[in-house]
A and B are shown apart, each in its own frame.
Chain A
Amino acid sequence: MDFGKGDYAALKKIRDEHLTPADVIKIITDSGLRGRGGAGFPTGKKWSLIAQEVSDEKYVICNGDEGDPGAFMDRAIMEEFPHTLLEAMVIAGYAVGARQGVIYVRAEYPLAVECLQAALDQARTNGSLGDFAVTIRLGAGAFVCGEETALINSVMGQRGEPNPRPPYPTTRGLYGKPTVINNVETWANVPNIILYGAQHFKNTKIFAVSGAVQKPGLVEVPLGTTITHLVYDLCGGAKAGHTIKAVQIGGPSGGCIPARLFDTPLDYESVKAVGAILGSGGLVVLDETTCMVDFAKFFVKFSASESCGKCTPCRIGNQKLGELLDKLTAGKGTVADLQQIEQLSQMIIDSSLCGLGQSSPNPVLSALRYFPDEFQAHLHGNCPAGVCFHGYHITDHCVGCGLCARQCPVHAISGAPKTQHCIDPQICIKCGLCAKICPVRAIKGGN
């Protein structure tokens, strides 16, 4: 595998110019680099906190547990620039006084794991890491392990559950020792900042743009770029015949921003001010075919199924929130349900133990804030996007070819060969694939 041998030029610069750990931290602080994982904590400040700690052992962790649906920035970096990550970790180790590092990658990224391992082997052979030891640890499939305290528990072989903070990992992290933990994308910025100096850092952020745009993909732009520029100029705007109505930023912890606010610059504060979060950079573009109630429900159910179950509001609250939204999308919602959704969402945010719970109702609250009409419409049995209530059904034009049954992603269609098939509405996710592929156009419904 070849991703360059990695010249570790930033490390070389530190050696050649005799930069002290304090110098390194100052460069990072001056660059204004902030955590790319979601919370946006200033990286230089985090490092200086750990550098101040007195301890016989300190650790450096690279958080590669990228789990937001539709986000794959970190994956691309791990697969293409593994040496950059290793170099950054060694730099941090030098800056804070740590000699051991752990890269935590989700097991669902086998190629990334392979690339990191290959790079690590190369670096060890070449002696690029000096006396800094790095190990790679695989996640076991839990989204919450992207939360730093849960990740640390997982690395230690414990159940991947968050711990209450304080103490923060900066004082008591891996094996109870001060620990620097940063996201992959944050690490990836470090060597270049050292190499080219703080003043040349453009503070760019990678967004994983997906959904209803012509050119989805990874886009790296300076923070402060407007949504309009990103969605229309860089990603080609709406698909033919459709109108973009909102973007969802920040995955299950984020929120939606309606088209009328597309002048919002993409930076930590501005996005937060309109009720979303920058998060790790997942950006889903939505057009008029997406129902905001259904979309919010998807994220709530994702959070509910990924909740570790430790604290009450997240464990039970998200479950009940999902069920209340189910009532709405089934056309059985009441005004009281809508009030309860709002009140319960606020309570989950207020009372949950970790970031997962504290942010899980954000998609619901922001959808309620910007698209109240869609919620109201559902109370009257109407889904403006035509997604809810309208299931698909198979008419008697069906020739029983079985194509739909084979292609259905959730196996909702059954029937004997050459007889009329039927769709189980309980299983159907209304993706519309069957209607699209039916050779005799026997499947009706949807929009």
Chain B
Amino acid sequence: MQITINHQVYTFIQPQTILAACTAVGIAIPTLCYEKSIGVIASCRVCVVEVVGRRGLVTACNTPIAEGMQILTNSPRVNQARKTTLELLLADHRLNCLACDRREDCRLRRFASQYGADKNAFAPSKPLPAPVTSNHITRDNAKCIKCGRCVRVCKNFQQVGVLGTNGRGFTGEIGCAFGGDLATTKCIACGQCVANCPTGALSETADLPTLLQKLNDPAVHCIVATAPSIRVALGEAFGFKPGTNVQGKMVAALRRLGFAKVFDLDFAADLTIMQEGAELLERLHTGQNLPQFTSCCPGWVNYVEQSHPELIPHLSTAKSPMGMFGAIAKSYYAQKMGLKPEQIYLVALMPCITKMDEITRDDIKDVDLVLTTRVVIRLLKQQGIDMAKMPDELFDDPLSLSSGAGLRFGTSGGVCEAALRNLQDQLPRPVKSVVVSGIANAEKLLQQIKAGTVHYDFIEVMACPGGCVNGGGQPSDQSLIQDNRGNAKKRAATIKRLDKYNTLRKASDNPAIKQLYAEFLGDPASKLAQQLLHTKFCDRA
């Protein structure tokens, strides 16, 4: 089909939107509410273009191209409309960009600057609402552009649906029903709303001053453990292509921040598999509490506790890798180093906001601080550490060596793969397993299980669509057609490739794990292992 864009003739074979067509030929169209996986909302109206013959302007995000269409993306009318829309958004916006968590990632700031939008073009109409923090998420509605993305992801991806609009028109605000507190709702703190917010209206809490103080206190032994999916996401903010593995540079950068030791949480993922696998074997033998659900994902655990407490006996009692790492760091590692547990300040670098919630649980308290990928990016930039210039360094011993299977925890399907790979030769019978990500998908599966239409023995659930590579704490895509899921797929592909080339295939082959059991824990069923590495869940419905 032949169309013209700014008087140039182009031929397209596939049906597509004006936005996709323009992007394909190198013509940038600004978008605020559009994100590829969320789909068309068409609320922000900054992607308007002129189509010759149409009465009004049309939004590029949802209008398909048609034979003979004449599109103008840079006419005075289009430029003026985009600029005015941005000025309307800025009129009642808390414009503290220099201190805003989003800074250069803010799409509103980026396009406002591009179009020269004037904050003072329109007089402000109302006092700015104060930011509210709940469930480790800060909502500043004075920066909200009401694009509706957070509402969509909460409802469509997670089927939690605790966000919506209160009131209407100019006085309407996004929030929980009747302006309630997020912590009193069924929010699972997955953070997908934050990851998908195009402005600084949503952000995670981060106690950076305390961290910097601990890092500079000689009496404190500061250590950090990095989750599997961080190494394939961190580089994006420093000019690396999405999905680039920057493990070595990440280790070096974290050392430059002042951490005494940098560990790999993949090690703890292997440990989780040892414990969770043993549990699965036992359940397969006794036939009790099947299917067994994974419990590494705290978002999923929150969902079960709040919405499906009847499934609690089916959850694996093994702590998440982060929980296990904390327990081992403050016992085995502390002993080895001759330190008291309270001398160690353990930071976990996670792709996840729910992990902040998890460390408030009674037996996960060994972890002192959780930082998301986004917060670490901010910290590294603030401290002037340029990832690109870092040498490639190795993780510290003894809590880092891991199998390829441990790394797979960072993506949907990884836990299941790792568990079954480890148990391959020991299974009493063929095990039926299934993998889901996104709570909406999990809910569908649960309904099928309840209806008795499907039967499984082992079920892996990750709350975020695609798993931790697309976690609520991960950086958002900065390209013009925003595609967070696409970036997550690239990260997942790298993880799978790294696993493929890792000669250590499974958890039980990992010498560091063998050493840990030999020197300290005994075996997965030992009293110490049960005490340190397992947890309990409670009905919070």
Contacts and interface: CB of A to CB of B under 8 A. Distances in A.
Interface string A291-319: 00000000000001111111111011111
B165 A320 contact: no
Contact of A352 (B45, B84, B92, B125): B45
B80 interface: yes
Given A311-B42, A350-B48, A350-B57, A316 B81 contact: no
A38 to B, nearest CB: 15
B88 A313 contact: yes
Nearest to A163: B42
Interface string B228-264: 0000000000000000000000000000000000000
B172 interface: yes
Contacts of B45: 311-313, 351-353
A445 B306 CA distance: 64
B172 A309 contact: yes
> Which of B56, B125, B170: most chain A CB closer than 10 A?
B170
B125 A320 contact: yes
A350 B43 contact: no
A309 B173 CA distance: 9
Given A316-B91, A323-B125, A310 B56 contact: no
A39 to B, nearest CB: 12
B89 interface: yes
Contacts of B84: 313, 317, 343-344, 347
Give the interface centre of B62, B84, B164, B165 by most chain A CB atoms within 10 Å: B84
A236 B230 CA distance: 79
Nearest to A164: B42
A311 B59 CA distance: 12
Interface centre among A308, A311, A349, A352 (most CB of B within 10 A): A311
Contact of A308 (B145, B164, B168): B168
B169 interface: yes
B340 interface: no
Given A353-B42, A353-B45, A305 B169 contact: yes
A406 interface: no
A4 B216 CA distance: 89
A313 B85 contact: yes
Nearest to A160: B168
Given A309-B165, A350-B48, A320 B148 contact: no
B444 interface: no
Nearest to B50: A350
A351 B79 CA distance: 12
Contacts of A380: none
B110 interface: no
Q: Which of B48, B85, B125, B164 has the most CB of A within 10 A?
A: B85
B88 A316 contact: yes
Contacts of A323: 123, 125
A306 B170 CA distance: 9
A320 B126 CA distance: 11
A105 B84 CA distance: 37
Contacts of A344: 84
Given A316-B88, A317-B88, A347 B146 contact: no
A137 B443 CA distance: 31
Nearest to B64: A166
Given A304-B170, A307-B169, A358 B56 contact: yes
A400 to B, nearest CB: 38
Interface string A330-344: 000000000000011
B164 A320 contact: no
Interface in B125-158: 125, 145-146, 148
Contacts of B40: 164
A311 B125 contact: no
Nearest to B147: A312
A27 interface: no
Interface in B314-334: none
A323 to B, nearest CB: 6
A306 B145 CA distance: 19
A305 B167 CA distance: 11
Nearest to A305: B169
A317 B145 CA distance: 13
Interface string A264-304: 00000000000000000000000000000000000000001
A343 B56 CA distance: 14
A320 B89 CA distance: 11
Contacts of B42: 164, 311, 353
A148 to B, nearest CB: 16
Nearest to B174: A309
Contact of B56 (A306, A317, A350): A350
A343 B148 CA distance: 27
Given A159-B165, A353-B42, A307 B85 contact: no
Nearest to B61: A164
B164 A353 contact: no
B456 interface: no
Given A164-B62, A312-B45, A358-B56, A347 B85 contact: yes
Nearest to B84: A347
B56 A307 contact: no
A428 interface: no
A317 B123 CA distance: 12
Interface string A107-142: 000000000000000000000000000000000001
A316 B56 contact: no
A319 B125 CA distance: 8
Contacts of B77: 350
Contact of A349 (B43, B44, B56, B172): B56
A414 B59 CA distance: 51
B434 to A, nearest CB: 28
A347 B80 contact: yes
B12 interface: no
B169 A308 contact: yes
25 contacts: A159-B164, A304-B170, A307-B170, A308-B168, A309-B168, A309-B172, A310-B43, A311-B42, A311-B44, A312-B145, A315-B172, A316-B92, A316-B122, A318-B170, A319-B170, A320-B88, A320-B91, A343-B80, A343-B84, A347-B80, A349-B56, A350-B57, A350-B81, A352-B45, A353-B45
Interface of B: 40, 42-46, 48, 56-57, 59, 62, 77, 80-81, 84-85, 88-89, 91-92, 122-123, 125, 145-146, 148, 164-165, 167-170, 172
Given A309-B167, A316-B89, A353-B42, 13 more contacts: A142-B168, A164-B42, A309-B146, A312-B88, A313-B88, A315-B146, A315-B170, A316-B88, A319-B170, A320-B88, A320-B122, A349-B56, A350-B48
In the A-B complex, the 7 residue pairs with the smallest Cβ-Cβ separation, listed nearest first, are: A316-B88, A309-B172, A164-B42, A307-B169, A319-B170, A350-B57, A309-B169
